[in-house]
Amino acid sequence: MGEYWPEIYPQRKAFCRHGSRGPDPVNNKILSAFRNVKSFPLERIIMQFWRLVKTSSGTRLLCNFNPYAYSCSNHRLRKYRSSCCQYSYALSDRVVVDDDATIIYGAPPSTAILNQFPEVVLDLRAHRGTPLVDLALECELTCFMMLPAFSFTHCVGVIEVYVRYPCHLLQIYQELQRELLREGLYIVPPLRLLMPCEATTGDFLLAVREIEKALQVAVESHAITLGQVWVTYENSHRKKRRALLGKLRSYCVASPHGNDHMFFLKCFYQQLFVLPLEKAERGLVARTLETRQAHLCRNIFKFNDNKGVLAVLSAGAKCTSFAICLKSSHMGECDYVFEFFLAPKS
């Protein structure tokens, strides 16, 4: 009877209260994504959407009247949700004297919006001291992800995911990204919102074609599992431009059947095509671009610069990584980075 056990879906709730404005298209999409995430851990999880809202005192992140979902095994999660509805996050580290005590400054949800990149904290105790974090710890939640959510034209807010065990983060990240994509939403800026940095001059499209051809030749001739190219971009939809590493092209020869762990590497990098340049957790590519020197990492899972979301996503990809910084005559002063991944020797 072992192989005929029924598939068990843990009990959970996912719903959204409509405010005075009535049903909202973005909320409907996120609620649908929450309901279709199947990897809800039995132990502890809560997901909720914090929406960007303009107020008289600035832009805030609010979760009231927005979608949320949680496992029913912990009744205290309901209290946590109710408390969240009483607070908001400010998109600034500057604390205003005598300001409203329910406004939280300098927190990971705001950072995820400002950096346009997911925030991951694997030990929630590092943020102890704020009301919502302390309450989350009481609910036996130990780690979280903050995922910025983008429509086709702009950032709409951030999705908060709290869980009890860090090992659940990766699968939830992958499923949530897939379900959001089905609804037309993204957790990294769509490429159409990015533009080459100002240092890029000349024929950019010609450079891309030449780089793509060189990448394919290198990967095929040396039997490299995965190769990809990164270049500096800027957000075209923000008043304050922020530098990002955007993936130009990638080329992979991993098995399409997923029989080896190197196929996981391809799945990982298909999901991550933008990296921030203004964070500590930028990985090997940003270090290579900064030093303009080649760098080798024999096991990317142990690479010290892989923190936050990079640490979570690289957990199943124990392979060697090599990165080299080059310059194209068609791209002016803008450098680009070739990044290669090789399977470990058996």
Give the pLDDT of residue 132. 92
Residue that the structure tokens 């762990």 belong to: 261
Give the pLDDT of residue 58. 83
Q: State pLDDT tens for residues 304-316.
A: 555 556 666 655 5
Give the residue-averaged pLDDT of 4-23: 59
Judge whether residue 291 has pLDDT over 80. Answer: yes
Q: What is the distance between the alpha carbons of residues 157 and 166, in angstroms, rounded to a whole number?
A: 23
Mean pLDDT over the full length of the chain: 76
Judge whether residue 6 has pLDDT over 50. Answer: no
Judge whether residue 158 has pLDDT over 90. Answer: yes
Give the pLDDT of residue 258. 45
Q: State pLDDT tens for residues 103-153.
A: 998 888 988 888 777 888 888 888 888 889 999 999 889 999 999 999 988
Q: In a 10 Å sphere around its CB, with 0-12 CB exposed, 13-18 middle and 19+ buried, how is residue 218 labelled?
A: middle
Give the pLDDT of residue 4. 39
pLDDT band, residue 233 (cuts 50/70/90): low
237-173-62-54 Cα dihedral, nearest 10 degrees: 0
Contacts of 66 (CB under 8 A, 6+ apart): 16, 27, 30, 48, 49, 50, 51, 157
Give the pLDDT of residue 3. 40
Give the pLDDT of residue 9. 47
- Could you give all domains of the chain from N- to C-terminal order, each with its CATH number? 7-187 (3.30.450.40), 192-342 (3.30.450.20)
Give the pLDDT of residue 135. 92
Q: State pLDDT tens for residues 236-286.
A: 555 444 556 666 666 665 544 444 555 556 665 565 556 655 555 557 788
pLDDT band, residue 235 (cuts 50/70/90): low
Q: State pLDDT tens for residues 58-109.
A: 889 999 999 999 887 778 888 999 999 999 999 875 655 556 788 998 888 9
The share of the chain scoring above pLDDT 70, in percent, equals: 65
Give the pLDDT of residue 75. 80
**Start-to-end CA span in the chain (Å):** 37
